[in-house]
Structure 1
Amino acid sequence: MIYHHIALNVPLSDGILTYAHDTALAEGVRVVVPFRGKPQTGIVWATGVTPDIDTAKIRKIQTAFTAEPPLPEAWRKLMAFAARYYHYPLGQAVAAALPQGLKDAKPVVLPEPPLFYGLSETGRMQTPPPARFHKKSALWQALADTDGLPLPALKQINSQAGKLLEEWAQQGWITAQSAAKPLLRPSAYCLNEAQQNASAEIQTAFGRFQPFLLYGVTGSGKTEVYFDVMAKVLAAGRQVLFLLPEINLTPQLLKRVEARFADVPTAVLHSQTAAGRRTQDYLRAMLGQAKLIIGTRLSVFAPLPDVGLVVVDEEHDSSFKQDNELRYHARDLAVWRAKQAACPIVLGSATPSLESWHKAQNGAYRLLELPQRAHTAAKLPQVDILNVGRLQLDNGFSPQALSLIQENYRNGGMTLVYLNRRGFSPALFCGDCGYTFGCPNCSAKMVLHRRVRQLRCHHCDHREPVPYKCPDCGNQDLTAVGQGTQRVEEMLRNLLPQAAVVRVDRDSTAHKDDWAELYRRIREGGVDILVGTQMIAKGHDFARLNLVVVLNADGSLYSSDFRAPERLFAELMQVSGRAGRADKAGRVLIQTQLPEHPVFSAVKMQDYRLFADRELAERKLFDMPPFGFQTAIRADAPNVAQAMDFLNGIKALVEPLLPEGVTQFGAAPMLMVRLAERERAQIFLESSSRKNLHYALDLWLQVLKQDSDRHIRWSVDVDPQEM
């Protein structure tokens, strides 16, 4: 028997268990093994190992899918690094990175390689179809002019391409090849000087690892720089990995990709892709059939045999950080992958993360700048900060805001009203006794969703009907307190009955095609006012949008999270950047009760450097990231006292063993203490040495793994983004 280490999705140690097989299996092969009486899919991690237990106890591998290509060595090294760096069991990390089809205990159907069609030598000797048959003639000409085109591209020329190819193939006029470099159509876009310089600089790094930070103001044309560099890599037949933060950015980007790279085999990977499609696209990427791979954070784990460029758009976005299970940061893993593949990586943003900006300032990343908007007539918007502390507001709107919205509608402009709070009202309140309706499972207020007559918790999704009276005093006159997107939408419909008002939040875009329909309406001029949360604040380009009104901009500044000002600044800069991206001048009105806060002065001046320099200087004083490193160790229990006692007990055991320069604080309740009927506490470890911090974390894990209190769950978050 040959013994193998198998990576399994099981909560035991590192998830690597030993199994036997009659023959040696290649590393990376999928297998099915028995585990606790059930078949379990795993990956061969090592072969020909010497068992450290009695061989009589080692069970046999039930099935080995040797007809499938094994997961490649570079991918296994990526997974080993991710599991090691984020201190997560390797077997479970591997499972988190695989699509469902590769976790099922059955063989997968391998995708057929794409065929590229052209005219054979015999075909080139034939008389082309008569010009009066326009589409048939155009199809023939396209086949004659290229070395090969895929069927989807040919169908764009003639919808009957499949049928015609079959007829011509029977006569020997067509060749079909499975390997061809994609034919790239010339771009209709002309780069300006700054864009050309940025593209040329990135191209000098082809074939070696070099991180670039592409810092460009909103509307400066960063995507066109990406596309120009991507075109060079794709034309050489190599692969490109393109990461973006949000699923809702995918439809608009894909439209641009289809226009620019129509003939390039593309795979789209994100969590809302159907399981079967995602498995097939994953395999196409692994087999090198897909050349352009676009996706959200999970696609950083796609196995790519020949990646020549990695792009991370909106690199500052917190959506790149996974907040449960394997708590990885896709941007950071993307940099590691680029180094592994010896290729350049481009991190793009109008508001770079302070970690990336710091690296660009000290030379670890090369800084590229796009200081002007790409559209020659477009200028940065005029930003006004309005102190609403003493103003009488109407459903959250100042008189100035309502006047601007009405005037903009009369002048044919489009307005975005930004409020990062969905629902009708953040709380339902009894005016007689002061009772507010809290979630029974979380330390959060229930949000009123009036149209469906529900109170909902936006954390655990607990739902209940709207009560008709106060449970404490019986008062039936309950008051909705505060504003949500539904309430703002209703108010604007009443204010401007003729205007087309559309709400964009998680409730209104829950279905697969909602975003495509929204883009269609906006493109056709069917939307006058958008009311939206942060889903609409970034990455979207709406030419007619020239006014942005921001309500309740202060909420996050009351947070104890040291990253709150950075997040608010990025949020306001991104939403401001939606205004005036075409011919019409843009204007932004931000309502606040804290107009003197430094965040608002930097936003008003549209000056990222001013904000970043000031914020970094402050963080340096306290050794906060990026000048120091952090890890959060969290525990949840039936009550918070149990969680805190658990963490403090381990802290006392580990304290004498800590390496020099590592600080650990006492356990404290999390900002939201109660979540889904559990109460939570956390301890932070900090150090200016990443190596020492990881050593300290290893000490913690040795003790944590020995703990057998089934009432307490714990987790580790390396480089946490939330306090």
Structure 2
Amino acid sequence: MFTYRIPRSMEKSVGIGYRVIVQFGRKKVLTGIIGKVHQKPPKDYETKPILEVLDDHPVVNPLQIKFWFWMAEYYCCQIGEVMNAALPSGLKLSSESRIQLNPNFDQEHCKFPIDPREQVILDVLESKPELTYEDCGKLLGIKSSYEIIKSLVAKEAVLVYEQVKDKYTPKVENRIRLKEPFSSSKEALEQLFEKLSKSTKQEEILLKYLQEIPVFLSPEKNEKGLEKKTITDAGLSPSSLKTLIKNEVLEEFKVIVSRFDNLPVDDREIHLAEFQEEGLSSIKEQFDQKQTVLLHGITGSGKTEIYINLIREVLDSGSQVLLLLPEIALTTQIVGRLQKVFGSEMGIYHSKHSDNERVEVWQGVLSGRFSFVVGVRSAIFLPFDSLGMIIVDEEHEPSYKQFDPAPRFQARDAAIMLSWLHQSKTLLGSATPSYESFYNARTQKYGYVHLDKRFGKAQLPEFHVADILVDKKKNLLKLDFTRLMREKIQQALDRQEQVLIFQNRRGYAPYISCEECGWIPDCEHCDVNLTYHQYSEEMRCHYCGFKEKVPRACPACGSHKLTTVGIGTERLEESLSLLFPEARIGRMDLDTTRSKYAYQRIFDEFASGNLDILVGTQMITKGLDFDRVTVVGIVDADRILYFPDFRSGERAYQQITQVAGRAGRRDRQGSVIIQTRRPDNIVFDQVIQGNYTEFYMTEMAERQRFFYPPFVKNIKVTARHKEAKIAEKAARHLANLLKEIPVKKIILGPEKGLIGKVKNQYLFDIYIKLDKTGNTPAIFKHEMNQLIFELNTQKEFKSVRFVVDVDPY
């Protein structure tokens, strides 16, 4: 934060949350948001004045700024980083230095000589109103034109200024309407038609207009006019339309319109089953005592219907509601259901929307147009001023955690804090709650409601564990599928039912290997193997985006025996098309859903029955509800289970349960086939029995014994540098300093990161386990931030980047 002076002329037009333009340093002009207004000028330097106020009303409210301060402090980052994440790009202003010819400059009487390069710029400025620094460099064929521009400024030949432009552009619609006297007098209109009898094209346009807008029955409709493209899209003559406008029969005008369609609302009441009614009543009772309630409802228990009832009640009371979803993939289906109920009251906020669409939702919340918003984690930053409830659906999902860049926040935890600031309520919903939330419910910190029945006649699926190694020995494994999995898929296809196949690895195969010498291609910039993508015939790094073509021969030994190792979604799609040539197969992963409406297109195809089998990553495990899916296959359950992370058991239980919940959602019982090399693992037994609590107790005993969350607070600090020795030395130095902070803690490391190099930077991790009682975490974070700041001022560690991740998993 920086301190600026408010000029007297602006005293009444500024306040907290306004965007302003300020000078920063000698040359830069930046935009900022006012976070605080006070009467204490700094003693050691003179403050600069605010140059301009950009808004008529605040775009950010005081509660948001309070929330930003909390987030910066809790997640150990700068408030500017929080602001950058919070504001949609369309509200941030871009500035760029430009030059223009000084109108008072007279070259003939100039006291100083003009050199040839300066003359080139002056000659261009005679015909062009402005040039950027970059334009000048290109004109002269040099990298930096700064010295030449500096010389021209000194000679008073040019003026330098900053052009600041707002990125947000509202959507404008061209409309037409019938002018007076034709819109109010039938006689005048009849005379006009007589006059136009020879011009059939103009007559057709008028008839089309009157067909769409009954001008005498509804004068207000004529006032609003008709969208111009209604005429042009109907194949009517654009030149004839131009003539009618020119002759003042029709009037053309522009209106700013919403980018969000006003959908028709379905007024039908949602009828809850008896067990849902009981759950709803229990949630309301718990809210009387607790700020946060955990709704633990098995897959298919109808949590969405309960959400709708609660949302309607809060909106009717005049408050706002935020519904958080873990991924954009989920918004596709649930948003369709919610829009039928809430129509234009509801805004949608996620990263697949354009900047302009996001600004429109932001402004819609500010103006009160949207009192209910559905969004992903970034939606917690919207300018709510009277939140009545936040619902976090699938609250256990790792997607709620932001990893890069800062703030590295957990949206579920941040939502609980936001709710506290608004004095509102938070409902956490999940079929497999995170162990932190379940622990808080068991220790009475949260309220708890359990739904253990499926809605309607839906039954829980039947589970089958298929042993990959047994089938391999008996030669029954075909193209990565066991005999049991193939049989179940074939039975579903014969009954004209649908199949979901889950594999949490995109690409064709994890990597390529040489059969002769064992060579495996690595990324040039990261410590990871390149993933093979057959469709594009290339190998890609999923960390930095580096890619290269597949070699024809092994670069190490020259052998042509290159083979793929492991299974990705792309390879599964190919294998299934060979095993079931009659089936229509689709794939959903990051590679197939990059475009804005790709999710929607794949969902629509699957929902309408145009696809028989859908292969996907974790995108297909969440919240989707398809009537005809009866078989779910998990191709490699070991990949989820055997991972070096204390949460791997919890995550495996959650993912398997979630993907299994997609099977048999109506009156047909579904089948779930889990392929594994270790069928004796306890996780599979607990998933099959649906015994969440028992598995939780087993895991919690281990966490308590070895000091893991929720019994401690975890922080990970990563030292990053292009030289491994400097990164390791900095990490070791910081770890020794952290040990001296006088609070109860365990410090592990530094150790080389699980992936030791990313984007040419070497990574060394320090893990901190902090006692949760009292002020310990706050004291430790404050001291740690000071130590990192001091280390970065030392010459040796100036270029080391320390990345702090609070609650890192």
TM-score (norm 1): 0.86
| Partner SS, residue 36 of structure 2 | strand
Alignment partner of 1:39 out of 29, 46, 52: 29
* 1:208–1:342 contact (8 Å) kept in structure 2: no
In structure 1, the residue matched to 2:92 is: 103
In structure 2, the residue matched to 1:131 is: none
Indicate yes or no: 2:521 matched with 1:471. Answer: no
The runs of 5 or more residues in structure 1 that have no matched partner are 1-15, 113-158, 175-181
Q: Which aligned pairs between 1:8-47 and structure 2 lie closer than 5 A?
A: 16-23=1-8, 24=11, 25-36=14-25, 37-47=27-37
Output one character per residue of 1:311-367: Cα deviation in whole Å (capped at 9) or x when no partner.
000000011111021011110111112122222211000010000000111111111
Output one character per residue of 1:88-144: Cα deviation in whole Å (capped at 9) or x when no partner.
1112211211111221155687989xxxxxxxxxxxxxxxxxxxxxxxxxxxxxxxx
Cα pair distance change 1:646/1:664, threshold 3 Å = same
CA-based RMSD of the aligned residues comes to: 2.5
Alignment partner of 1:48 out of 32, 38, 49: 38
Q: Which aligned pairs between 1:473-552 and structure 2 lie closer than 5 A?
A: 473-552=557-636
In structure 2, the residue matched to 1:685 is: 768
In structure 1, the residue matched to 2:487 is: 403
Following superposition, the deviation at residue 590 of structure 1 comes to: 0.4
Cα pair distance change 1:678/1:165, threshold 3 Å = farther
Give 2:218's aligned amino acid.
W
Q: Which aligned pairs between 1:118-137 and structure 2 lie closer than 5 A?
A: none
Alignment partner of 1:329 out of 410, 425, 431: 410
Aligned residues: 649
| Partner SS, residue 309 of structure 1 | strand
* 2:390–2:427 contact (8 Å) kept in structure 1: yes
Give 2:356's aligned amino acid.
G
Cα pair distance change 1:208/1:71, threshold 3 Å = farther
Alignment partner of 1:380 out of 457, 460, 467: 460
Output one character per residue of 1:397-452: Cα deviation in whole Å (capped at 9) or x when no partner.
11221122112211222111111111111111100111011111111111111121
Q: Which aligned pairs between 1:127-526 and structure 2 lie closer than 5 A?
A: 163=213, 168-170=218-220, 186-204=267-285, 210-262=291-343, 264-324=344-404, 325-374=406-455, 376-392=456-472, 393-526=477-610
In structure 2, the residue matched to 1:600 is: 684
Cα distance in 2, alignment partners of residues 73 and 508 from structure 1: 41
Cα pair distance change 1:377/1:658, threshold 3 Å = same
In structure 2, the residue matched to 1:13 is: none
Cα distance in 2, alignment partners of residues 679 and 247 from structure 1: 32
* 1:430–1:478 contact (8 Å) kept in structure 2: yes
* 1:208–1:344 contact (8 Å) kept in structure 2: no
The runs of 5 or more residues in structure 2 that have no matched partner are 94-163, 172-208, 225-262
Following superposition, the deviation at residue 682 of structure 1 comes to: 1.0
Output one character per residue of 1:246-284: Cα deviation in whole Å (capped at 9) or x when no partner.
01111111110111212x422211112100110111121
Following superposition, the deviation at residue 188 of structure 1 comes to: 4.2
Question: Could you say which structure has the larger radius of gyration?
Answer: 2
Cα distance in 2, alignment partners of residues 403 and 318 from structure 1: 33
Q: Which moved more, 1:213-222 or 1:401-410?
A: 401-410
TM-score (norm 2): 0.77
Output one character per residue of 1:189-213: Cα deviation in whole Å (capped at 9) or x when no partner.
3211121122223345779862110
Give 1:168's aligned amino acid.
S
Cα pair distance change 1:162/1:504, threshold 3 Å = same
Cα pair distance change 1:236/1:481, threshold 3 Å = same
Following superposition, the deviation at residue 217 of structure 1 comes to: 0.5
Cα pair distance change 1:626/1:468, threshold 3 Å = same
In structure 2, the residue matched to 1:668 is: 751
* 1:19–1:59 contact (8 Å) kept in structure 2: yes
Cα pair distance change 1:51/1:409, threshold 3 Å = same
Cα pair distance change 1:517/1:664, threshold 3 Å = same
Indicate yes or no: 2:798 matched with 1:715. Answer: no
Output one character per residue of 1:45-98: Cα deviation in whole Å (capped at 9) or x when no partner.
122342334443x32222112413352111111111111111111122112111
* 2:92–2:166 contact (8 Å) kept in structure 1: no
* 1:20–1:61 contact (8 Å) kept in structure 2: yes
Give 2:764's aligned amino acid.
A
Cα pair distance change 1:442/1:234, threshold 3 Å = same
In structure 1, the residue matched to 2:241 is: none
Cα pair distance change 1:161/1:309, threshold 3 Å = farther
* 2:297–2:450 contact (8 Å) kept in structure 1: yes
Cα distance in 2, alignment partners of residues 64 and 631 from structure 1: 40
* 1:686–1:693 contact (8 Å) kept in structure 2: no
Cα pair distance change 1:101/1:207, threshold 3 Å = farther
| Partner SS, residue 625 of structure 1 | coil
In structure 1, the residue matched to 2:146 is: none
Following superposition, the deviation at residue 237 of structure 1 comes to: 3.1
* 1:415–1:546 contact (8 Å) kept in structure 2: yes
Cα pair distance change 1:109/1:640, threshold 3 Å = closer
| Partner SS, residue 319 of structure 1 | helix
| Partner SS, residue 460 of structure 2 | coil
Give 1:278's aligned amino acid.
R
Cα pair distance change 1:476/1:70, threshold 3 Å = closer
Cα distance in 2, alignment partners of residues 96 and 244 from structure 1: 18
Cα pair distance change 1:218/1:160, threshold 3 Å = farther
